[in-house]
Each structure stands twice: as structure tokens, then as C-alpha cells.
């Protein structure tokens, strides 16, 4: 047995699954991974693995490509659909270009060739678990930002540096009164999709990069609703300070302003 690979920052909540039809491989992988601080389940077949996957949300799966009469590639496809954040490490004793290419296409985290050492197994497990944690954190942040983005009363439109709409929240969509999906449209295309007189004036603010100023606009939107809006546009910049787009904020000035005191 090779020297133990000591891990300093393993999260004991990481749950791993080892899928292999060879009992010796399942036992060895399981013991190595448990020694590294992971919770580990094992399965000897496609059916046993899918049953465990139905009851558990795995962070990392070590998956043999050949599972008796079944194919680990089929299980990889299932994992890609049912648990796309799960990091899958394909393991094989007979490496082939075809299976390696298919593993990459299905977003497998890595492709290991037997025999696999303890150090190698624990190193890959650590990297895969860290990637899973990062992806989960990014998704949680994205969902939180989406809730905030769609929860505010102000309308928000995000344009890239070429004037193409990258994002729009529900409040802005309602203010414009457009039923058409506007994301990915250019300024000219938005003007055609929202056929009301004042849309061109609003879009001209974006074209002219009128940053920092507050404008007021009375309009009758695409649904025939009369609104008084205040508009303000700010730049989007990257870490180097370069402008990558703009954010246009619309506020319906006819909506009452609610203060915390009014809710008590």
C-alpha cells in the first residue's frame, strides 16, 4: 500500500459513490476514500447505482466504464441529466480514445486508468469535491441574485457593450408592456418588438451612453398603460476598469413609496 495522502480540508459531508463490478476495487477505493474523511457508498451494477442515486445526492462518483453487461457510459449519461453538478471520474482498465472522448463530451471530471494508487485517488477526490462545492456555491449565488433581480420594484435592463440586451427583470418587462422575449435583441430589434412612440427616446439614452443623469419620461407603453418613469444609466466595468456594458434602471414614479413605519 502506498503512503497515505493526508488531506487538510475535507468536508465530512462530502458523499462519494464507487461503482465497479469488481469487489476488490470497490473495497480498496472505499477504504482509501473513507480514510481520507469521506462518506462512501458502493455499487456493483448499473441498477444498484441508480437505486443509491435515487436516495442520495452524491458529490463525486468514481465510475467503472465496464459494469459486467452494462456500460458505465450509460450511467454517466443518467448522472449528467439527473445530477449535473455531480463530478464523475471515469475509471477503466482498458483505455480507449472513443470512451475518453465520450467522457469529455458528457463533462466527466477526469478519466483514470487502473491501477489507481491511493495518492492518486485521494488527490482526484479532493479536486472533484472542491469543484462540486464551487459549482454549488455559484448556483446558490445565482439563484439568490435572480430572486433579488426579479424582486425589486425598479425595472432593470442590462446591455452589453454592443447594445444587445443581456438581461431584463420582470418589473422592466411590465413597464414596457412587451409580450415578446427581449433578451439577446439589439436596440433596433427592441424598438420593433415594443411598438410605442416613446421607446425610441428611451433607447436613445442607451445609444448615447447618457451615464449618471436622471431623466423623466411620460409614455404610453405597448399595453396602452400611461406611466411616468425616471431613468438612470450606469456603466458595467470589469476588474480592469474597462466598460463591458450598461445598466438602465427604470422607476415608476406613480407607485407610492412605502416606508418601514407604514408597515408597523
CA distance 248 to 264: 33
**Which of the four pLDDT bands, split at 50, 70 and 90, describes residue 256?**
low
Indicate the SS3 state at residue 61. Answer: strand
Q: Where are the domains of the chain?
A: 15-147, 152-263
How is domain 15-147 classified at the architecture level of CATH?
A: 3-Layer(aba) Sandwich (3.40)
Q: How far is CA 121 from CA 41, 65, 67, 79, 246, in A?
A: 15, 16, 20, 20, 46
Q: Which residues of 46-65 are buried (b: 16+ CB within 10 A; e: fewer)?
A: beebbebbeeeebbbbbbbb
**Which of the four pLDDT bands, split at 50, 70 and 90, describes residue 5?**
very low
**What value, to the nearest 5°, has the Cα angle with vertex 68 and ends 54 and 73?**
60
Beta strands in 140-221 (DSSP E): 155-160, 165-168, 214-220
**Which three three-digit cell numbers place residue 127?**
479536486
The rounded mean pLDDT for the chain is 87
**What value, to the nearest 5°, has the Cα angle with vertex 150 and ends 208 and 84?**
110
Tell me the mean pLDDT in the region 150-165: 90
Alpha-carbon torsion, ordered 134, 135, 138, 142, to 10 deg: -170
Q: Are 147 and 124 in contact (CB under 8 A)?
A: no
Q: Which of 77, 115, 29 is nearest to 41 (CA)?
A: 29
CA distance 136 to 131: 9
Give pLDDT tens digits for 38-78.
Answer: 999 999 999 999 999 999 999 999 999 988 888 889 999 99
Q: Are 72 and 101 in contact (CB under 8 A)?
A: no
- Write the class of the CATH domain 152-263: alpha beta
Q: How far is CA 76 from CA 19, 66, 264, in A?
A: 11, 12, 54
CA distance 23 to 14: 23
> Which pLDDT belongs to residue 71?
87
Give pLDDT tens digits for 74-123.
Answer: 999 999 999 999 999 999 888 777 777 888 888 899 999 999 999 999 99
CA distance 41 to 45: 13
Give pLDDT tens digits for 11-39.
Answer: 557 999 999 999 999 999 999 999 999 99
Amino acid at each position: 500500500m502506498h503512503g497515505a495522502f493526508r488531506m487538510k480540508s475535507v468536508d465530512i459531508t462530502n458523499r462519494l459513490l464507487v461503482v465497479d463490478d469488481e469487489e476488490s476495487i470497490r473495497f480498496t477505493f472505499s477504504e482509501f476514500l473513507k480514510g481520507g474523511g469521506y462518506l462512501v457508498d458502493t455499487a456493483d451494477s448499473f441498477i444498484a447505482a441508480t437505486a443509491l442515486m435515487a436516495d442520495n445526492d452524491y458529490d463525486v462518483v468514481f465510475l467503472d466504464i465496464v459494469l459486467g453487461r452494462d456500460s458505465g457510459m450509460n450511467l454517466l449519461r443518467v448522472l449528467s441529466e439527473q445530477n449535473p453538478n455531480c463530478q464523475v471520474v471515469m475509471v477503466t482498465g482498458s483505455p480507449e480514445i472513443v470512451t475518453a472522448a465520450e467522457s469529455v463530451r458528457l463533462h466527466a471530471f477526469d478519466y483514470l486508468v487502473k491501477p489507481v494508487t491511493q495518492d492518486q485517488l485521494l488527490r482526484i477526490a479532493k479536486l472533484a469535491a472542491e469543484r462540486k462545492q464551487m459549482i454549488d456555491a455559484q448556483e446558490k449565488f445565482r439563484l439568490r441574485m435572480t430572486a433579488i433581480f426579479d424582486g425589486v420594484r425598479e425595472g432593470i435592463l442590462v446591455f452589453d457593450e454592443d447594445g444587445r440586451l443581456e438581461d431584463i427583470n420582470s418589473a422592466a418587462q411590465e413597464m414596457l408592456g412587451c409580450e415578446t422575449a427581449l433578451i439577446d435583441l439589439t436596440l433596433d430589434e427592441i424598438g420593433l418588438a415594443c411598438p410605442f412612440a416613446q421607446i425610441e427616446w428611451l433607447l436613445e439614452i442607451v445609444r448615447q451612453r447618457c451615464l449618471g443623469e436622471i431623466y423623466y419620461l411620460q409614455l404610453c407603453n405597448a399595453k396602452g398603460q400611461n406611466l411616468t418613469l425616471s431613468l438612470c444609466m450606469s456603466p458595467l466595468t470589469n476588474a480592469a476598469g474597462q466598460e463591458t456594458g450598461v445598466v438602465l434602471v427604470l422607476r415608476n414614479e406613480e407607485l407610492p413609496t412605502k416606508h418601514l413605519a407604514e408597515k408597523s
